[in-house]
Structure formats: structure tokens, C-alpha cells
Structure 1
Amino acid sequence: MVPCLAAVTQLMYTLGKRKECSQHSEENDLSKQKVSVQQRQKIGRPFFIAVHVGAGYHSPASSDANYRAMRRACKAAASVLSEAGGSSMDAVVSALKVLEDDEITNAGKGSNLTEDGSVECDASIMDGLTGAFGAVGAAPGISNAIEVAAALAKQSQGGLLPLGRIPPVFLVGDGVRDWALKQNIPVVEDSAEARRRLISERAEKQWKYYTKIIESYNSAAENHQRGQSTPLRSGSCLGTSATLQAPSAEAIDRDIVSDQGQDRVEDLVLDTVGAIAVDSEGNVAAGASSGGIAMKVKGRIGLAAQYGCGCWASSRRQPEGTSVAACASGAGEILIRGLAARECCNLAQKSEEGPGTACESFLSNLMSEQAAFGSSYDSGLLLVQLNTSQGNNDPKLRGVELVAAFTSKSFGVGYYGSLMTTPKTQIFRNSNSCNERPSQKVCVFEANVMNSRR
């Protein structure tokens, strides 16, 4: 494994080392711990949920807000999985709706804006047991794109539509809004109202900042073409590529401040959020949701919506194989070419060295292979692989192996198992230089989380 920050390589959670997970004050409350354990013993349904808030740059000033969002998402999913009949796919929807509704993330409200200043969301979901998949792309006026994607996935399991028509699994643009209205899914019909609800103050401020950068670049380009001496800054772009992210990080940190005049660092062009859920039967599901890269071209469909790219889930019974699920985040145009989520799951299932090594190898190879396209190397993978048992008297879900691998400046991850007293959250940070080759800056975090006492 390539050396990373000590916080990344040392944060290993095991059942026998609970003290290492007591980083938040709520975990030190013994009364809460006793109540939580009693509740889980009464329920007797092992489960696991993992979420992430994107591969990109998370400012220290936003850490607490990201921690809160991830904890609430984990708890929302856990409440679904703790109930009899609660499915892993429904749990993924519950977790991602929490993240979409929180302005701190780049999904739903608070999403990055397009070049023309509007919000267009992507989302997808996959059920590992049935293979059901649903997705929406460049969806305008949709607060919870994951809800529409899940409805598409569920409809596809119901057979043919009247007159033998095949039900859709992927809708884009205004077609998403029209279909959602027919399914009685809440959408914002009025464009002005959609703007008010979905555009956060932070996203609008960021859009204005990048608009000025693009205008300055275009002006410099025109002067350069006319033979004037104005130089073009190396690494500048026209706002349609993820490469806008890295070069401007320090400038944004200095220049963007809150209306109250506080000198706080703002987040930098974060990408897809994701969730993976495992129910008591060992069935997995995964989902992804995103507002896309900042200043994207109107109609652009990113990683979060595309099959095999933003999320993947496969529930397999032993000895046929190992259940695994993954969701990806980062520079979509690069990760899409590698079918990131699906290929990473396939490698993890075949690897004799474990899922952590598989994820690290995949990201390293993909970043090197795609370097010719000249895009951002920001990427992140969240993967869960199951440890299951075959005995009829034992829970099918004994534990999971959790992997978070990333090349971006930071990657925010949260997870919650049925034997944990509270969700654990962490924003991992990459200390490696951006000048290093991609294969030299993959950071990996691994944890083995038990979910049953038996």
C-alpha cells in the first residue's frame, strides 16, 4: 500500500478495538451506548450502511457539517434496515435523500451550477439481488433525483407495460420531470421556484466566481488572437472540464468569504455522493447522486447516472461468489471510461490480496491509462465486500470489509454497523503532492466491521 497520512493508514475499526472509534463525543456517552445495544439485541437484525460525500476538496471549516450530514444519512438508512422487510435499496434511497437535502453536498439542493446558472442532477441505483437498475440524467427541478431513479428500477421489475412496451430504466432532461409527475413523485414545476429551492448561496457564489474566471480567460484569448501580448495562464480552461477544480483551489480559499465577513475556506467543486446498504440477509444495494462538475455544459450527464460507472451491486450466495457493492466519485469523464464501479467490484471479487489492494490497483491503473485525456485525477471509490455464513442457525450477514480509496485532496466517508453504538465519520486527506504521478498518490483506508455477535 502506498503511504498516506497517518490518519488514513491507522484508522482501522475492529470489534475488539472500539476505543479507536471513539473520536466523537457522542460515542463516549455510556447511557446512549447501553440503550443502543439493548435496542439492537431486541431487533436482532444485523445491517451495514456506508456513505460518502464526494471526492474533491473538503475545507476544514465544513468538516462538522459534513460529519453531521453523513451521520444523519447513516441513521436514516439504519432505521429502514432495522424494520422487518426493510430492503437494502430502500435504505440507500433514505440515506441519499438526506444527503441531497443537505446544502453541504453537491447533490440535490446545493448542487454545482451549469454554465447558465441552473441545477441539473444525475442519480442511479442498483439492487444486487435482482440486478434492477434505474437512473436519471441532467434532471431539472428535481430535489431528490435518487427517488426517481429508484422508482424506475422498481418499475422495471414489474414486467412489461401495456401493449408489450419495455419500461424505461434511464430518463434524461425534462422527461424525468414528466415521468415523475405521472408517478406522483414530488417535483418543482415552476422554474423560478426550482431555482429558489435548489440553488444554495454557496453554489451561487461559486458560480459567480468561476464565471468571472471564464470571462477573464475568454477576454485574454481574444486579445491573444489579435496579437496583443496578454499571456494565457497555463492550466486555464473554459469551464466545461473538471480540470477547473485543482488549479483554482488556493485562489478560492483566499477570495471566497461569507457575507458575514468570516475568513473561512469554502469547499472546492465536490462531486458525487454515494451510499451502500446491506440487509440482514446479506443483500447489497448501491446508489449515487450528483449535481455534476461546476460550470458543466447544459445537458451534460456525468458519472452518477451511467450504468456500471457511478454504482454497482452484486449479491451472490456462497460458494458461488462474494457479495460486493461500490460507488464512485470524482472526475466523471475519466471514471466513466473505466466503468469504475463495476470493474472495481469485479476485481475485488477475484483478488486474492483483498478488496483494498484491488481498489488501489484499479485507481492507479485507470488514472495512468487516462492521463492522455488531460483531465483531473480526482477520484474516489467506496466499496463494501461481505463476510457471510452458510449455516441456517447463524445470521447470513456476519461482517463486512469496507474500503475507501481515493486520489483527490480529500474523501469524506461515514459508516454504521448493527453492533456500533453510533455512525463513524471521517474526512480522509491526501498529503501527497499533486505533481506526483497518479499511481503514486492513491490513498487507501480499510476496516473490517463485524455486524453479528454469533
Structure 2
Amino acid sequence: MRPARVQLILLAALFFVCPFLAAARQAPPVVEVIPQTGEAEKGAIRPWSLAIHGGAGTIPKNIPEEERDRYLASLRAALELGRDLLAKGSSSLDTVEAVVRFLEDDPLFNAGKGAVFTHDGTHELDAAIMDGRDLSCGAVAGLTTVRHPVSLARLVKETSPHVFLVGDGAEAFATERQVERVENSWFDTPKRRAQWQEALAREEAAKPKGTVGAVALDQQGNLAAATSTGGMTNKRWGRLGDVPVIGAGTYANNKTCAISATGWGEKFIRHTVAHDISALMEYAGLTLQQAADRVIHEKLEKDDGGVIGVARDGSIALVFNSEGMYRGAADSKGRFEVKIWE
């Protein structure tokens, strides 16, 4: 074959082959994309969990059936509120505040409307809220005119450099933040007045059992806790319990859990109950249930009270050593329950 013809054949081959080689060089590699767990279905609801309480203590099992049903209905309504918020993607912080606000307006419970009387025949309210993302928190105590103490606690957390405001200072802060106010008598209920008069006759303070609280894990994996109370019937001298004490009655940490406590406040403060449960999880490797059981049943005494908790994995603990605890739990798997004794 002549050299000229060979050259023509080679040039023709290059003319047809080169474009394909160039395309091959420019084409992106084929990669198989495997969706991560929980992302396979766009828009799928991520796990969330919620627990609430309306106080623990000596709750006789022979209370009138009508009264029992009122408590259960109220707990159910509060739980439904929180469930719906979390299911649609609300944050854990917004959810626990909304649930506690709801319970603060329910006269059945010792928080907000229906708060117990002090020795002087008035009402002094305490509350706290905590965000597990960054451990930011706010607490208020000794309030006398703020309708929703839990919301003022959140404002302390988010609009001040402080954590804890008390008494006249907290009231002044409420004025600056323009929160809703009521007359102190607005918190009165006939039931609480009767309890106060009975405590006066005995010249003693009655054990609290009506504190309210909520803990939640939202779809973003964040934990939050909130608690509110009127304290102890016939309390004196500006007494404060565990509720507004961060780490005693209220605590949240994304590394471990969110806790809201209810019961004999002095005992919960001495044992820093809420933080102790978190610490047992973080440093001893206990589950939420194991940690709560150890603190409530081994460190505290019988009838001291209880806690509700939600862990970072979504597990829920409802633990008490008293006769009963008004409580409820719900999660994204379909759990929905409210109970008092069993």
C-alpha cells in the first residue's frame, strides 16, 4: 500500500474517533447515590417525642370519677397541642413553651391560674425554660402579676444577659417587655383557697403536687424543657422550690436529655435531680430510664415526687415515687397516652 493512501486512511480514522474520545473525557463519572437513613423519602417526618406532667404527689385513687376525667381531659388536650406542633415541624423550645402556657391557664393545676396561696394569702409564681442546643436558659421567681411565667422566663433567656430574675426585678422586666399582666387575685380558685385555709389551721406548708412541665425532642434533633409552678401552699419568706433552679427542676442538653421535675422542691435542689439524670447518662453511660430510676428511686425518698424526660434518641421516661403523677407522652411512632397512677 502506498504511503499516501495509508496517511489518508489514518486521517479518516482520527476524524471519526477523536470526537468520541473527547466526549468520553468530558462526561462526568456515573455515581450511585444511596440516600441516608431518614432521607429516602423526601418530606418524611423525622422522629420527635414529647412528655408532659401536671404534678406528682399524694393523689388519692378514690377521687371522684368526674374530677379524674377532668384531669385526664386536660392532659390530653395539652398533649394534643404539643403533638400537633412537633408533627408539623415546630421547634422543641416553641412546643414546650406553648404546652406549659396552656397548662398555666388551666385552674386544675398549681401554675398560673389555680396557683396555690402563700401564707399571706397571695400568689407567687416561678418558671424556667432551657434550650438543649446551647444550654441557654431563663428563669423567673416570685412573680405576682405575670399571666404566663414561662414566657417571661423565655424572654429572660433571649432578651437579657441574665439567667434568673426574681421578685420586683422580674416584675419590672415584665413591664419593660410588655408581657400580659393580671391582678394577683386572677390566680385565685375556690379549691386553692380551701387548701390554704386548711394549711393555715394546721400551721404548716402543704406538699406541692400541681407543678406543670413539658419536655420535647423536635424533628431537628433538639431538646428543650420548661416547668412552671405556684410553689407550696402556705409558703413563707419568699420560699423558692426547684422549678426555676436550672439543673434541679429543669434541664436540657442535646448530648443527653431534657428533664422537668415535680415534687418536694427542697429535695430536688439538694440532689440537683434534673442535671444528675443528665450526668448519669453522659458520664456513666446509663439510658434515660436507668438514670431516672436511679435518682428517683434510690437517691430520693418515697413520696418526694417524680420527673418526665426525653432522651436524644427519642426515648421517654415517666418516673415517680409518689402515689401518682399527672402525666402524658406522645411520639412520632404513634404513642399517645395520659395517666395518673398506673
What TM-score does the superposition give when structure 2 sets the normalisation length?
Answer: 0.81
Q: Equivalent of 1:383, from 302, 309, 315?
A: 309
Counterpart CA distance in 2 for 1:170 and 1:325 is 19
The 5 A counterparts of 1:35-434 are: 44-59=45-60, 60-61=63-64, 62-84=67-89, 86-156=90-160, 167-188=161-182, 193-195=183-185, 197-214=186-203, 239-240=204-205, 244-245=206-207, 269-316=208-255, 323-352=256-285, 354-367=287-300, 377-387=303-313, 400-420=314-334, 423-428=336-341
RMSD: 2.1
Counterpart CA distance in 2 for 1:307 and 1:120 is 18
Mark the CA change 1:169 to 1:68 in structure 2 (over 3 Å): closer, same or farther: same
Q: CA deviation at 1:169?
A: 1.8
Q: Is the 8 A contact 2:49 2:315 kept in 1?
A: no
Structure ID, larger Rg? 2
Counterpart CA distance in 2 for 1:173 and 1:68 is 34
Structure 1 unaligned runs (5+)?
1-40, 157-166, 215-238, 246-268, 317-322, 369-375, 388-399, 430-454
Counterpart CA distance in 1 for 2:277 and 2:333 is 27
Counterpart CA distance in 2 for 1:178 and 1:83 is 36
Q: Is the 8 A contact 1:210 1:295 kept in 2?
A: yes
Structure 2 unaligned runs (5+)?
1-41
Q: CA deviation at 1:42?
A: 7.5
Q: CA deviation at 1:93?
A: 0.4
Q: Give 3-state SS (helix, strand or coil) of 2:140's partner.
A: strand
Counterpart CA distance in 1 for 2:292 and 2:97 is 25
Q: CA deviation at 1:285?
A: 0.1
Q: Is the 8 A contact 1:114 1:298 kept in 2?
A: no
Counterpart CA distance in 1 for 2:88 and 2:44 is 8
Task: Say how many residue pairs are matched.
Answer: 297
Q: Is the 8 A contact 1:287 1:310 kept in 2?
A: no
Counterpart CA distance in 2 for 1:293 and 1:356 is 28
Mark the CA change 1:357 to 1:46 in structure 2 (over 3 Å): closer, same or farther: closer
Counterpart CA distance in 2 for 1:76 and 1:181 is 29
**Aligned equivalent of 1:234:** none
What TM-score does the superposition give when structure 1 sets the normalisation length?
Answer: 0.62
Q: CA deviation at 1:74?
A: 1.8
Q: Is the 8 A contact 2:132 2:254 kept in 1?
A: yes
Counterpart CA distance in 1 for 2:190 and 2:43 is 44
Q: Is the 8 A contact 1:385 1:402 kept in 2?
A: yes
Counterpart CA distance in 2 for 1:271 and 1:378 is 13
Q: CA deviation at 1:352?
A: 4.8
**Aligned equivalent of 2:29:** none
CA deviations over 1:345-384 (Å, ceiling 9, x no partner): 211334555322222221234226xxxxxxx842201121
Counterpart CA distance in 2 for 1:419 and 1:365 is 31
Q: CA deviation at 1:298?
A: 4.1
Q: Is the 8 A contact 2:48 2:217 kept in 1?
A: yes
